[in-house]
Each structure stands twice: as structure tokens, then as C-alpha cells.
Chains A and B, each alone.
Chain A
Amino acid sequence: MQPDPHSAAGDHRAAGIPASEPTIPTQEGTEDMTPDQISTEGTVSSQGGVAETPDGLLTVGKTLPDGEAMLAVRNLKKVYHTDGGDIEAVRNLTFDLPQGQLACLVGPSGSGKTTLLKCISGLLAPTAGEVTLHGKKVTGPPKSMAVVFQEYGRSLFPWMRVRDNVELPLKNQGVDKAKRDELVDNALEAVGLAHVPKSYPWQLSGGMQQRVAIARAVAYQPEVLLMDEPFAAVDAQTRADLEDLVRSVWKQLGVSVLFVTHDIDESVYLGERVIILSSSPTVIQQDVLIDLPEERDQLETRSSQRFSELRHHVYEQIQLAKKGFRPEDALAK
């Protein structure tokens, strides 16, 4: 039922349709409701849909038929009960993460990104809805999931050397010494830290500390890797290197990666898909397919026409979200 958005867009442009016209030919979702605010440059395909949820008619992310998704998030809601009253951080989120995909979650600050990630990783219990991994409901941190946190300085054990930090989860699982050494060596090699196993984490720069945290996750051999704004606290040049590192680790291991960020460029550069979150209480605003070439390069990719189109689109959506745009209100109209 979905027309090919690219060819459609090409037609519009060729026909010289003025900017005020609704030119985004996505079949459903939010664009239709706010045509005047949508980019007219390129076209972006939204993979999401609209579904009837316990919270009313809502936009949802792309879902797969039952049993096919690796990680499934269904009608996830999180309400914090505080003395000052209830705070609805996440209203309703539904999307799937297929095996081996690298998806970015991007949203305005305070859009409950960290809350969402904590619910997915089993650190927080959702108020309603559920997260399933291979069809099994997540009630605590699952064994096949690893999380890389933003605060690298607080997620590494300062009393352990780099190597011991990477080795600890394996040791805890009872992996034998030879296998452990191999996994740790490979992981440190993969993140380019083979030369500092005997240092303490705090002796390293911020970027290197985050590399250690990534190495620890890699050595753990997870099926799903969750990353919570991992590069928000490192400088721009280091960040570019780390982005490429994530892409290469992802390709090497074939893991599914869910990468949370507030950096729009980063989300477009990294992901195969960008899930845009609304402002709090969070729902999915749009689920955008990132159809950039497989091989990404900080110079080439970022200066390409397609990159700037996608970036433009995501940026606009985030601006909308910041202004308090609610996808469900638009649907109700």
C-alpha cells in the first residue's frame, strides 16, 4: 500500500511543485498533518504506521510479524510516582528491532530516552506494556544484552585495570581462562586499545575510557547492544572516531544495536534507521529509514546530498517535537 517514496519525490521535484505543497508522499504518519513544515528538498520514507493502542490512536515504529523481531517493544509506558504527583515520562512506544540492525533513537532533551533504555535493558520495570527479547518478556537485565552508558567515568571500575574491567563480566559468567583471554584480547584489539591493558581507566582520556566500556560490551558477546548517548561527553574529533568504531564493531559482530543520542547528525550518520521521539510524555513521532550507502565515511557521507536531506528532515522533526508537537493530536484531527 506504500508507493515508492523516492520515485514519487523525484516526480514532485521534477514538476517544480512549490515549497508550500505537501511533497512528502509517505503513506501515513505525521507528515500529512503538518505539510507546511516539512522539507521539500528530498524525500524521506517513514517506515512507521498508525495503530490503535491502549493510549488511543498513535504513531508507532516499524513492527514485524509476531516472532520475527529480535527485540520487540510494545505499548511501553513509564510513569514515575513522586511526592509531587505522577510524572508520565514515556506514554506509549511500540517498535521492533530486527536481528543485526543498527537503529538510532533520537529525541529532544528530556524526551525520556534514558528511561526508555533502562526499561529495555530491564533495569527499570515499565508501568505498562512490555519488552520482549526473542519472544521472551524482559523482567530483569537479560543475559544477551550489554549496555554502554554515557558516563564512562562512572561505568568502569576505577579499582580495576583496563584488562580486568573488560574481563570481569566473563569471569562472572564462569568462562574459562583461555577463552576469556582470547575474547578480551580481541575486544581490546577491536577498539584499538591493545596497548594499555595495565592502565587504570582514570589514567586514560575520556574517549579511550569509552572505548574500554565498548570493549567490555564487545567481549561479552551480546546479541543486543544498547548505547545510551555514549559519546555525549567526548570531544567532537574523538566522537567521529568512536562513531566509526561503533559501525565497524557492529559489522564485525553482527549484533543488533540500539543507539540513543540527542545528536541529529550522529543519528543519521550511524543508523540504518532513525526513530524520532516526541517530547515528553514520549511517543514515537516518526520512524525514518536511512537509505545511505552501507559504507560510511565521515567526509564523503556527511557531505553527500542524501545525508543533508535526511539530516534536514530529522532536524525539522526534532524542532517540531521541541515546540510541543504531539503526533496523536495531529492524528485526531
Chain B
Amino acid sequence: MKTLKSLLYIVGLPVILLVLWYLATAFGEKNFFVPTPALLAETFVETWTWDRMTTDVFPSLVRLFWGILGSIVIGMVGGLLIGSVRWLRALLEPTMEFFRAIPPTVLIPVLMLLIGIGDDMKVAVIIAGAVWPILLNTIEGVRAMDEVLSDTTHTYGIKGFNRVRYLILPSAMPQIMAGIRQSLSIALILMVISEMFAASSGLGFTIVQFQRSFAIPEMWSGIVLLGIIGVLLSFVFQLVERVVLRWYHGLREIENAA
């Protein structure tokens, strides 16, 4: 009963939107740019065949994966360093604000010149945008270290790598996960955008191709696919977060109950 209820909550809004869309397209005025749900579904199945998956979707996802992984590694390692070393923070923080303000999309031509038009460039574009939330959240998480916990590890002589592993990293983890969550959607957007320039494959490239050749239902089906990827990404993230931050959610629940 309970699962049924939560299932209804999940599909409720999508169903309502689909019905509205159906009513508007089937009974309203015909519009070349907006297909009916049935046509879109048909086109979706026809367009995203296994062939297309291997030539366009999977390469995109691989680039997305490397971009996210690169952002997490660079963001966390950099954040741990900048967060714990005071002079490094003083040195880098103003400059970081400058680079953070640059939209990664304007870097695409520059990166094309510097590292070519291959996958490296696309991964670099994703990292250039997605690294920031992770980096800044990690810095904040490290800085917000509880003083008593920090004193405790000092009195027990826990330092160096053990301090990072047992104290700094876990205590910053709630913030780091919040950063990763933001980065995921940025990475997806940048994956599409990076493929719109000088690319010959990929989701972004395909969608732009459809758009330019007025294959309107096909274009919409690509957008739907992007949405599905976004939902799956967030689903995977939630699974990971539930395991990594189990202690944190438990702690919060008890604090809120008290």
C-alpha cells in the first residue's frame, strides 16, 4: 500500500503532463514543431536504435563519465589541499573567483586550439565547468571542521594521511556530496554543448543535426533521451549517497526528532 502510494506520487505529474500534451496536440491546432505523444514515442523507438546508441550515445556517456570523474578527483584533492593549507587558500582564492566567473562554453574555441577537437577537449570543457561546485564545497567542508573533533584527533596523535582519511574526508563528505550533485547537471549540459562544436558524433551533435534538417520529432526524441539520462544520473547519485552518507542522514534524523 505504502509503495503503491509513493509510486503514484512519482508517476503522478508525468502522467498529468502527458495527458495535457496529448489533449493539446490531438485536439488543438496542428503544429509542425510540436509532435503528438504517440508520434514522438514512435520516433523515439525508430531513432534511438542500437546502432545509434553505439555511435552517438555511448561515446557521449563515456565523455560524461570521464568529465564527472575528473571533476570529482580534481575538486576533492584540490579542495582538501586548499581547505587545509591556509596560505594556499589566501593565494588561490581571489584567482579562483576569476576563473569561476568564466563560462566554460567560451573556453571551447580556446581549448580546441590548445588540445584539438577530440574527446580530450570535450572532457576538458565538462571539467572546466563541473569542477567548481565540488571544489568550493570541499573547501567549505574542510574549513567547517568541528573543533572538538579536530582536537580529539590531535590528542590521539592522528595526523598526516590518517587525519585526512579518518577525519577530514568523512567530515567534509556531506558538503562534497552536495557539490557533486550540482556538478552532475552542469556536466550533462556541458557534454551536450561541447558536442555542438566541431564534432562528428555524440548526442549533442545528433540533436543539432536533427534541428538543422528540420527533423523535428527526432530532435524532440533526443531531448527526451537527455532528460532520461539526467533522471538516471540522479538516481545513481542517490543510491551512492545513501550508502556514503548513511551516518549523516541518521544523525540528522535524530537531531530533527529531538
Residues of A within 8 A of B (CB): 118, 121-123, 140-141, 143, 145-147, 149, 151, 154-155, 157-160, 168-169, 172-173, 200, 202-203, 220
Residues of B within 8 A of A202 (CB): 247, 250-251, 254
Asked if B152 is at the interface (CB within 8 A of a chain A CB), the reply is yes
Residues of B within 8 A of A141 (CB): 154-157
Partner of A168, one of B147, B154, B156, B248: B156
Residues of A within 8 A of B155 (CB): 121-123, 141, 145-147
User: With the chains together, A203 CA to B251 CA distance in Å?
Assistant: 8
Contact across chains for B154 and A172 when beta carbons are under 8 A apart: no
Partner of A159, one of B148, B162, B170: B170
Query: From residue 208 to 258 of chain B, which have CB atoms closer than 8 A to chain A?
Result: 247-248, 250-251, 254
Query: From residue 140 to 159 of chain B, which have CB atoms closer than 8 A to chain A?
Result: 146-149, 151-152, 154-158
User: With the chains together, A159 CA to B172 CA distance in Å?
Assistant: 11
Contact across chains for B247 and A158 when beta carbons are under 8 A apart: yes
Given contacts A155-B152, A159-B170, contact A172 B158 (CB under 8 A): yes
- Say how far A208's CB is from chain B's closest CB, in angstroms: 13
Contact across chains for B251 and A154 when beta carbons are under 8 A apart: no
Asked if B166 is at the interface (CB within 8 A of a chain A CB), the reply is yes
Contact across chains for B158 and A155 when beta carbons are under 8 A apart: no
- Could you jot down 28 A-B contacts, CB within 8 Å? A118-B151, A121-B155, A123-B154, A123-B155, A141-B155, A141-B157, A143-B157, A145-B155, A146-B156, A147-B151, A149-B148, A149-B151, A149-B152, A157-B149, A157-B167, A157-B170, A158-B251, A159-B173, A159-B247, A169-B156, A172-B156, A172-B157, A172-B158, A172-B162, A172-B166, A202-B251, A202-B254, A203-B254
User: With the chains together, A159 CA to B146 CA distance in Å?
Assistant: 13
Partner of B146, one of A154, A169, A172: A154
Residues of A within 8 A of B254 (CB): 202-203
Residues of B within 8 A of A118 (CB): 151
Contact flags B186-207 to A (C-beta < 8 A → 1, else 0): 0000000000000000000000
User: With the chains together, A221 CA to B173 CA distance in Å?
Assistant: 31
User: With the chains together, A202 CA to B248 CA distance in Å?
Assistant: 10
User: With the chains together, A271 CA to B70 CA distance in Å?
Assistant: 57
User: With the chains together, A147 CA to B156 CA distance in Å?
Assistant: 8
Given contacts A159-B247, A200-B247, A202-B254, contact A169 B158 (CB under 8 A): yes
Total of A-B residue pairs, C-beta within 8 Å: 66
- Say how far A151's CB is from chain B's closest CB, in angstroms: 5
Residues of B within 8 A of A121 (CB): 155
Residues of B within 8 A of A (CB): 146-149, 151-152, 154-158, 162, 166-167, 170-171, 173, 247-248, 250-251, 254
Closest CB pairs A-B (n = 9): A154-B148, A169-B156, A159-B170, A159-B247, A147-B155, A141-B155, A202-B251, A172-B158, A155-B152
User: With the chains together, A145 CA to B151 CA distance in Å?
Assistant: 13
- Say how far B231's CB is from chain A's closest CB, in angstroms: 29
Contact across chains for B157 and A155 when beta carbons are under 8 A apart: no
Residues of B within 8 A of A168 (CB): 156, 158, 166
Partner of A203, one of B154, B157, B171, B250: B250
User: With the chains together, A118 CA to B151 CA distance in Å?
Assistant: 9
Contact across chains for B166 and A155 when beta carbons are under 8 A apart: no
Contact across chains for A220 and B156 when beta carbons are under 8 A apart: yes
Residues of A within 8 A of B146 (CB): 154
Residues of B within 8 A of A151 (CB): 148
Interface centre among A118, A168, A173 (most CB of B within 10 A): A168
Residues of B within 8 A of A203 (CB): 250, 254
Interface centre among B152, B154, B158, B173 (most CB of A within 10 A): B152
User: With the chains together, A48 CA to B8 CA distance in Å?
Assistant: 76
Partner of A169, one of B147, B157, B173, B250: B157
User: With the chains together, A220 CA to B156 CA distance in Å?
Assistant: 8
- Say how far B160's CB is from chain A's closest CB, in angstroms: 10
Residues of A within 8 A of B157 (CB): 141, 143, 169, 172-173
- Say how far B50's CB is from chain A's closest CB, in angstroms: 43
Chain A, Cβ-Cβ closest to B255: A202
- Say how far B165's CB is from chain A's closest CB, in angstroms: 10
User: With the chains together, A146 CA to B166 CA distance in Å?
Assistant: 18
Residues of B within 8 A of A172 (CB): 156-158, 162, 166
User: With the chains together, A146 CA to B156 CA distance in Å?
Assistant: 7
- Say how far A197's CB is from chain B's closest CB, in angstroms: 15
- Say how far B18's CB is from chain A's closest CB, in angstroms: 43
User: With the chains together, A199 CA to B117 CA distance in Å?
Assistant: 53
- Say how far B170's CB is from chain A's closest CB, in angstroms: 4
Residues of A within 8 A of B162 (CB): 172
Interface centre among B156, B167, B171, B250 (most CB of A within 10 A): B156
- Say how far B86's CB is from chain A's closest CB, in angstroms: 17
Residues of B within 8 A of A145 (CB): 155
Chain B, Cβ-Cβ closest to A121: B155
Sample of 7 further A-B pairs with CB below 8 A, known A173-B157, A202-B254: A123-B154, A141-B155, A149-B151, A158-B248, A169-B156, A172-B157, A200-B250
